[in-house]
Amino acid sequence: MFSLKTLMIGLTCGIILTGCSSASSEGNSAEEVIIYSNADEEAVEVIQEVLDKAGYEGQYIFQSFGTGELGGRLLAEGKNIEADLVTMSSFYLESAQAKHSMFKDVSFEVNPQVAVPSYYAPILSFTGTIILNTKEMAAQNLPRPTSAKDLAKPIYKNKIAMVDPNGSSTGWLFVQNITATYGMDAEGQTIMNHIRENAGPNLELSGSGPLKKVMAGEVPIGFGMRHQAVVNKAEGLPIDYIDPSEGNYTLSESVAVIDKDDKTNQNAMKMAEIIVKNARPQLLEIYPNIIYDGETVASENQIKNVKTYAEPLTAELLDKHRAFFHGQKL
C-alpha cells in the first residue's frame, strides 16, 4: 500500500508467504493459485486466514510486493504475468486493464457505494492526515497547522516528516491535497518545494515512516495514514491528528483475476469472492473507511471533508505527481 514492502518472491514455501504446507510436486503447483499482492502485513494475514478457513489451505502461493514493483510488473507483463489473482491499488489495476485488457469480469455480486469497473472488487481503502506529537509541539512552542499548505511555512523548517511518493502511495495522498487545491503551476509548485525543503532529512520512503518519527519525538509533525493516528491517540499516546482544510483524499485496493483464457485458474475467482466477502469485515476494522452499504465505523473514523480527485487516478498521473513533488518536469 502504500509502503515499500519486502519483496518475497522465493521459490519455496518457506520463503513465500503462502498457504503451502510443503514443497509441492509439479502437478500440484500447476493447480495452485498464485496470488500477487501489495497489501500490508496485517491485510495479508487476514486474507490468508479467510482463504485457509474456506478450505483453500495448500492451494495457493502468496507473494508480496511493493506497490511500485507490482504495478510495474502488471504494466509490463500484462496477461503473461505469473499470477492468477492480484490484490493491488485500484488505480494500477485500471491502468493495467487499459493497456492490456488483462482481467476477467468479476463473476460475483459487488455493490460498493462508489461505482467501480466490472473487473475488480474493492477490499480496503485508506486516507492520509497530518499527525502531531503533542508533547513536542508544546515543547517547541509550535502553532498547530490547519492545512497542508501551512506545512510550507518557515517555522516548520526541519520540523516535519513527509512520505516520498516514489516510495509509497501514502505520499501521493498529500500531493493530491496540494495539486487539487493550488494546481501544478507556480503557486502549487512553490508550496510543494517549501514543504519538501522543510522535511529536509525526514523524507521517508515508507508510508509509516513519518508516523514512527513523530511517535519517537524525532519530529513534531508528519503526514501519514489516518487510521494509524486514530489508534495511537486512542491508546493514550501523545499523538493527535488534523484533517487538512483542503480535504482528505483516499486510495483503495482491490482484488482482480487475471484472464488467461482457457488457462485461467478456476479457483482464482472463487478465492477472490472469499477475500471480498469474508475478509472485508476484518479489513474494515484495520482500515476503517466505508466502501459498501451497511458498513459502519466509529465517530473518530468518520471523515467530514472527503475529496475525490478531479482527474482519474492512473499510473501516468502518479508519475506526474512524483515529478511534481520533487520539483521536476516530466
Find the mean pLDDT for residues 191-218. 96
Superfamily classification of domain 26-124+252-297: Periplasmic binding protein-like II (3.40.190.10)
pLDDT per position as a tens digit, 163-188: 999 988 999 999 999 999 999 999 99
pLDDT of the residue at 330? 72
More confident residue, 194 or 169: 194
pLDDT of the residue at 57? 96
pLDDT of the residue at 198? 98
Find the mean pLDDT for residues 189-208. 96
More confident residue, 2 or 304: 304
Q: For the chain, where do the domains classified as CATH 3.40.190.10 start and end?
A: 26-124+252-297, 126-249+303-325
pLDDT of the residue at 28? 34
pLDDT of the residue at 310? 95
pLDDT per position as a tens digit, 46-60: 999 999 999 999 999
Q: What phi and psi values does residue 178 have, to the nearest 5 degrees? A: -75, -50
Q: What cell does 112 get?
A: 460498493
Residue 22 reports pLDDT greater than 50:
no
pLDDT of the residue at 26? 36
pTM here is 0.87
pLDDT per position as a tens digit, 232-284: 999 999 999 999 999 999 999 999 999 999 999 999 999 999 999 999 999 99
Residue 316 reports pLDDT greater than 50:
yes
Cα–Cα distance between 12 and 59 in angstroms, integer? Answer: 14
Q: What phi and psi values does residue 146 have, to the nearest 5 degrees? A: -120, -10
Q: What percent of the chain has pLDDT over 70?
A: 91
Contacting residues for 220 by C-beta, under 8 A, at least 6 apart: 132, 133, 136, 137, 140, 142, 159, 160, 214
Contacting residues for 281 by C-beta, under 8 A, at least 6 apart: none
Calculate the alpha carbon distances from 30 to 13, 263, 289, 290 in Å. Answer: 15, 10, 37, 37
pLDDT of the residue at 1? 55
Contacting residues for 168 by C-beta, under 8 A, at least 6 apart: 1, 2, 3, 4, 67, 204, 205, 206, 207
**What is the residue-wise DSSP string for 53-66?**
IIIITTSEEEEE--
pLDDT of the residue at 29? 38
Residue 201 reports pLDDT greater than 60:
yes
**What is the residue-wise DSSP string for 188-202?**
HHHHHHHHHHHHTT-
Residue 24 reports pLDDT greater than 80:
no
pLDDT of the residue at 31? 82
pLDDT of the residue at 68? 87
Cα–Cα distance between 196 and 158 in angstroms, integer? Answer: 10
The CATH class, in words, for 126-249+303-325 is alpha beta
Calculate the alpha carbon distances from 127 to 16, 68, 224, 240, 307 in Å. Answer: 29, 19, 8, 15, 10
pLDDT per position as a tens digit, 110-126: 999 999 999 999 999 99
More confident residue, 13 or 44: 44
